[in-house]
Structure 1
Amino acid sequence: MSCPNCFTGSVLEGEPTGVISEIDGAYFASCPSDGNPDSKRAIILLTDAFGLKLQNSKILADQFAQHLKCDVWVPDFFAGKPPVTVEQMRSLPDRAGIKFGFWDVLVFIARVLPSAPSLLITNRSSVVDGRTVSFVQKLQERKKYDNIGVIGYCFGGGIAARVGATTSMFNSIVLVHPSPPTDDHLKAIKAPTAWSMPEEDMGGISPARLEEIKRFYATRKGKDTYVDYEIKVYKGLRCVRFCLSFTRWKN
């Protein structure tokens, strides 16, 4: 799924310090030297529609590795051809309360059209999900991690939800402004799930839908089907792709 915020954002400062691995060209940020060298846990970061061409996901992976003291992998589920290019990035409303006008809609349509074949055909859900599953299988053949957590951003959040619903590969799931999962996906996910949501999720999950999701989780409390969860809404943010000058949330 694509939304206007697949085409917006800022480039993070700094340079990636990890490497491109031999496993399907995934980016790898290794556990730091002050971590446990025998650790058998890892994080898989699933990117937004910019994929690995945008350095942001690599820099985030480096930061996660440093703070969480574990290996972090960023698979290239677009096979080197992400549907959205860095050149398509432009600034749209970056915080809640700023309207997305008619002209902005026209601009978005003009920008998304070149990416439509890639989003709808080349990188449709079944394809990127399959590449992700294949990557995790290859990774486990080599690394044999005991625990794998997944963090999915926007487009990657949809993959995390779908793969989390149809496999038992992930021991924990973090969804950040994800492509909207279906009720069937929510029911099928067995791993603890944390949601990081903006106040306004244009083109994604509406406040009303988020309330439905909260009620869905709440109704399972005390039942065998209950799964640990957390839903956090960051007030003032728009689609978790905020302006870096918005210091309230930058850190």
Structure 2
Amino acid sequence: MSCPDCTSGNSLPGSPKGTEENGVYFAKGSSQPDTKDKAVIVFTDIFGLSISNPKVIADTIAERTGFDVWVPDLFDGRIPVKPEVLDFFLPRHPGEKMGLWRKVRFYWTLLTHIPGMIGCRPAVVDPRAKEFLTKIKAEHGYKSIGVVGYCFGGAISIRLAPLDAVTSVVIAHPAPSTLDAIKAINVPVSWACAEEDDAFPKELRLQAEAHFKSRTPELQYEFVDYPGTVHGFAARPAREQPLSVEGHEKALEQTIKWFQSTL
């Protein structure tokens, strides 16, 4: 299921430069000997490929790393809710809260979209994600695959990180997950965390870091916190909030450097 804050933020500047076919966006890498057998998969927030943000992000990663970057549509062309439906309700910076009446309207809006939410539950989207991983690895001969997940896609990344097909992961403000699922991660993992995030609350974030710090055998990891941000900043930053924009840019740089060092 998605977390409500996945809907906050604005469109990123720029137009997609890659190709989109059969529900998959592709940003081609450099095809150099040291990059052609490596790829990155972007697991999107709940809006999938209906918005340009994940495509622009994919283009930047491909350009900077030289790796092929893929963005699959895990919703089979049927996103559960449109950005404009929920953007009105959600905070744009830490400390901003919904009043009672606004909160009632928000949850009523969610209730009207229950069928769409059911259609993107883990039992539906996880098999699609696994199938896509297996497919591109077999068809393109990739030896190393990195996964970066935002919001909804962050929770998917946590659940898929234990798979042999995944080499390294970046998780940006994930949708609700559990400590047990986080403990199952067994590949290098980088976390981009918001200052205020009801979906990935501070308590769980600290428990996760404590686990990786004490883990035996040791695993390469990092946690980076971005002040002045709320859940969703790395995928759809609030363009009128300088700290949100800065957090997005730095989280993208964090992602690029992580894959350059771990793939």
When the two structures are superposed, what TM-score results if normalisation uses the length of structure 2? 0.85
Displacement after TM superposition at 1:36 (Å): 5.3
Where does residue 242 of structure 2 map in the other structure?
Answer: 247
Cα distance in structure 2, aligned partners of 1:37 and 1:43: 14
Q: What SS class does the counterpart of residue 112 from structure 1 fall into?
A: helix
Where does residue 19 of structure 2 map in the other structure?
Answer: 19
- Report if aligned partners of 1:45, 1:73 keep a CA contact under 8 Å in 2: yes
User: Relative to 1, partners in 2 of residues 1:235 and 1:21: Cα closer, same or farther, differing over 3 Å?
Assistant: same
- Report if aligned partners of 1:41, 1:146 keep a CA contact under 8 Å in 2: yes
Where does residue 206 of structure 2 map in the other structure?
Answer: 211
Where does residue 42 of structure 2 map in the other structure?
Answer: 45
Greater mean alpha carbon deviation, residues 233-242 or residues 155-164: 233-242
- Report if aligned partners of 2:72, 2:132 keep a CA contact under 8 Å in 1: yes
Are positions 1:88 and 2:85 aligned together? yes
Instruction: Note the 1:177-188 alignment, pairs <5 A.
Output: 177-188=173-184
Cα distance in structure 2, aligned partners of 1:123 and 1:158: 12
- Identity %, equivalent residues: 36
Cα distance in structure 2, aligned partners of 1:86 and 1:176: 19
Where does residue 116 of structure 1 map in the other structure?
Answer: 114
Stretches (4+) displaced over 6 A? none
**Cα root mean square deviation, aligned:** 1.9
User: Relative to 1, partners in 2 of residues 1:104 and 1:168: Cα closer, same or farther, differing over 3 Å?
Assistant: farther
Where does residue 260 of structure 2 map in the other structure?
Answer: none
Displacement after TM superposition at 1:249 (Å): 4.4
- Report if aligned partners of 2:86, 2:106 keep a CA contact under 8 Å in 1: no
Displacement after TM superposition at 1:77 (Å): 0.8
Where does residue 255 of structure 2 map in the other structure?
Answer: none
Greater mean alpha carbon deviation, residues 186-195 or residues 106-115: 106-115
Displacement after TM superposition at 1:6 (Å): 2.4
Cα distance in structure 1, aligned partners of 2:84 and 2:93: 22
Where does residue 152 of structure 1 map in the other structure?
Answer: 149
Where does residue 231 of structure 1 map in the other structure?
Answer: 223
Structure 1: runs of 5 or more not aligned:
none
Displacement after TM superposition at 1:28 (Å): 0.2
Where does residue 4 of structure 2 map in the other structure?
Answer: 4
Instruction: Note the 1:187-198 alignment, pairs <5 A.
Output: 187-198=183-194
- Report if aligned partners of 1:148, 1:170 keep a CA contact under 8 Å in 2: yes
User: Relative to 1, partners in 2 of residues 1:89 and 1:64: Cα closer, same or farther, differing over 3 Å?
Assistant: farther
Equivalent residue for 2:61, pick from 56, 59, 64: 64
Displacement after TM superposition at 1:59 (Å): 1.0
Are positions 1:103 and 2:95 aligned together? no
Cα distance in structure 1, aligned partners of 2:213 and 2:164: 23
Displacement after TM superposition at 1:55 (Å): 1.1
Paired AA for residue 44 in structure 2: T
When the two structures are superposed, what TM-score results if normalisation uses the length of structure 1? 0.89
- Report if aligned partners of 1:9, 1:89 keep a CA contact under 8 Å in 2: no
Paired AA for residue 9 in structure 1: G
- Report if aligned partners of 1:6, 1:84 keep a CA contact under 8 Å in 2: no
